[in-house]
Amino acid sequence: MASYLPEDVVVKILSRLPPKCLIRFKSVSKRWRALIGNPDFLSKNLLNHSILTQNPSRPLRLILFLATEKYVAGEQIHFFHSFRSYDSLRCASQAPMNFPPLTRHFEIVASCNGLLCLWDQKLDDIYQWNPATSSDLEALPRAPSRCHTRRRVPFYDFSVGFGFDSGSNDFKVVTLVDTGEDGWLEAEIYSLRSGSWRLLDMKVNFEMLSISQTAALDGVFLWYDDFRFGDCVADDRIVAFDFTDEEFRIMQSPDARLFCDYGQYTRTLTELKGSVAMMVFPYDDRKKNYLDIWVMLEFGVSESWTRLLIIQLPLHLERPLMFWKNGELFVENSEGQVVLYDLLAQTEMNLQFGGSRVTSKVVDCNFVQFEEMGSGVIPTLSCSSRLHYATQSNEIE
């Protein structure tokens, strides 16, 4: 005779399963469908619990807040920063974190196991920086495509990605280079271990006409063409590069026809508990301030894009930046300050950090033990990386 397990035990079993599984098991019975529930930030059910607790945070984690100084005419614009504990958001006081003299043109490409990759967009120089050991930026040798002397239109034909190859325990930088032929892009890859560049065999077709939204997570770097501010086109695509396979993959984003009523909108790619997330919100038009949050529950599977929440934000909270521990959100307000917004309680806390408007960045720095490995110091990996970077910068020249 087959044993029947009581419901509280069933809940215990189900509470450990990943979202994809739970979504499938909603078809088991009506009772299970009710127990598992619908994906949305606000309901407490098994599915939301799974989505929001998939990848528990690890110790030794810091967040780096960056902003550029309020612009003063004629002055060189610099970044200023604050390292804070991921857990408490209090300023990290123990190890002094070094900060290099970054200027306006630097973009933080990504942070990966305590190593940051930066890109000087004016000169197309790429740097690595380890805040725990030095305030010096270490320049990478120039990317082969940048060795030509032609002047290029800024941001339109070159982009940089950064991540970790867990297979070979190596940090890699990848570039996308527009060949100028009908949207075909080439890629170059730099390995920190080898200290050299090589051209990848594969080409990918993707229109890179503007500053791409980018995000980094778990050994993958993503680009998203944020060119269309509000066009209702169904074919928005995301390009993902896997640092272990060294392969590109093209995925769809949520169907943009769903956003037709939004007027002028823009999107940010980010990470939520190890999954790719996308936030849709208004661009310039401040009559209404919605935030539409989607998550790709299974990486690479475009059909698995699931809407988690549409919420009205207070008007002064303009730019969502990054998710925090329990699904709270860092948002930049209209004064350029970083605010922590609790999506469930709909309360906010000003973190007293900010600079010029539309320049805040929040970078998740995961520090693990460092060990010498071959030449130079390369952080070792004890578990896969969880990263985020999203920005939207305005030219204020």
Partner 1 sequence: MANNGENPSPDVGGKTVKLKADDGEIFEVEEAVAMELQTVKSFFDDDGVSYDTVVPLLNVSSTALAKVIQYCRRAVELRAKSGDDEGANEKAREEREGLEAELVREESDEGIKELILAANYLNIKDMLSFLCRAVGDRIKNKSVEYVRRFFVLENDFSPEEEERTRNEVAWAFEGVDAD
Residue 304 CB, shortest distance to partner 1, in Å, is 5
Asked if 56 touches partner 1 (CB under 8 A), the answer is no
Residue 6 CB, shortest distance to partner 1, in Å, is 7
Asked if 54 touches partner 1 (CB under 8 A), the answer is no
Nearer to partner 1, 201 or 303 (CB): 303
Which of these, 221, 209, 215, lies nearest to 322 by C-alpha position?
215
Asked if 34 touches partner 1 (CB under 8 A), the answer is no
Asked if 229 touches partner 1 (CB under 8 A), the answer is no
Binding part of the chain for partner 1, among 8-16, 64-72, 219-227, 328-336 by CB under 8 A, reads 8-16
Nearer to partner 1, 299 or 370 (CB): 299
Which residue type, as a one-letter code, is found at position 395?
Answer: E
Asked if 17 touches partner 1 (CB under 8 A), the answer is yes
Among 2, 73, 233, 345, binds partner 1 (CB under 8 A): 2
- d(C-alpha 385, C-alpha 374), whole Å: 21
Q: How far is CA 370 from CA 113, 114, 255, in A?
A: 10, 9, 43
Nearer to partner 1, 40 or 298 (CB): 298
Residues 252-271 that bind partner 1 (CB under 8 A): none
Residues 271-310 that bind partner 1 (CB under 8 A): 298, 301, 303-304
Asked if 60 touches partner 1 (CB under 8 A), the answer is no
Asked if 10 touches partner 1 (CB under 8 A), the answer is yes
Asked if 13 touches partner 1 (CB under 8 A), the answer is yes
Residue 176 CB, shortest distance to partner 1, in Å, is 27
Site string for partner 1, 360-389 (x = CB under 8 A): ------------------------------
Return residues touching partner 1 (CB under 8 A). 2-6, 9-10, 12-14, 16-18, 20-21, 23-32, 298, 301, 303-304
